[in-house]
Amino acid sequence: MAVSDILLLLKKSRLFQGLHDHEIDQICEYAMLSERAYDKDKIIINQGEQVRKIGIIKSGSIIGVKYHYNGDSQIMRIYNQGEVFSLDAVNTTFLSSPVTLISQTDCAIIFLSYKFIFETNKISPAVKERVLFNSSVILSNELIRMMYKIDVLSKRTLRERILTYLSIMKEKKGDPFIDIGMNQEEFAQYLCVNRSALSTELNQMRKTGLIDYNKNRYILIKETDALKQKK
């Protein structure tokens, strides 16, 4: 990957927002950057694996999956182009990944040593301060994202979970057409149900005029009625 491409990618990343080109150059020079490509459905990092580098997605998308002792799995997060992952792991005491990260599509990832940014004296204190500030914003946003998920999973029925999730996504994106970025199998894992139960419920909701959908795209047709039913 050309240096100019790396610079452009890092400039667009939330982690390095507010930095000038020459400051990002410092990071490129001293944070031990590397690039790696993954085919679809390949494991990038295993749950429990020690993590010492963060990743920034150059292209494609990846899924964070939590595996449980009984064999069940749950999708926790989907990361898209330009997003940072493993920032939570490198800021913990044990440096272990809480989830398994899997390529949802063919993807390319830039890895860099987060800790080294703060250990080297080659990177200015002002740059380190900005990266720390941006990290706090990213991690705070992740906390809010997890609170949304807790809200979804706290609902007693599958219909309530679907409606809560779609209403949250509509509010966040400001668009009546909601691309959830997941197929039905992935959506079922996110909602902690099996695919057949989700498919049956979605078809019933479509028949009653609550929603419509095509592949990954959904729309709340009778949002007022739907939200009343949630309560």
| Residues 25, 135 share a domain | yes
DSSP letter for each residue of 32-70: T-EEEEE-TT-EEE-TT-B--EEEEEEES-EEEEEE-TT
**Domain stop point among 150, 180, 204:** 150
| pLDDT over 50 (residue 98) | yes
Domain hosting residue 210, numbered range: 156-230
| pLDDT over 70 (residue 226) | no
For 103-119, how does the pLDDT look when each residue is reduced to its tens digit (9 = 90+)? 999 999 999 999 999 99
Average pLDDT value over all residues in the chain:
90
Residue 231: its pLDDT value, please? 45
| Residues 53, 25 share a domain | yes
Residue 5: its pLDDT value, please? 76
For 154-184, how does the pLDDT look when each residue is reduced to its tens digit (9 = 90+)? 999 999 999 999 999 998 888 888 999 999 9
| Residues 167, 116 share a domain | no
**Overall number of domains in the chain:** 2
Neighbour-count burial for 108-144, b at 16+ CB within 10 Å, e otherwise: bbbbbbbebbeebeebeeebbebbeebbeebeeeeee
Average pLDDT over residues 1-9: 70
pTM for this predicted structure: 0.84
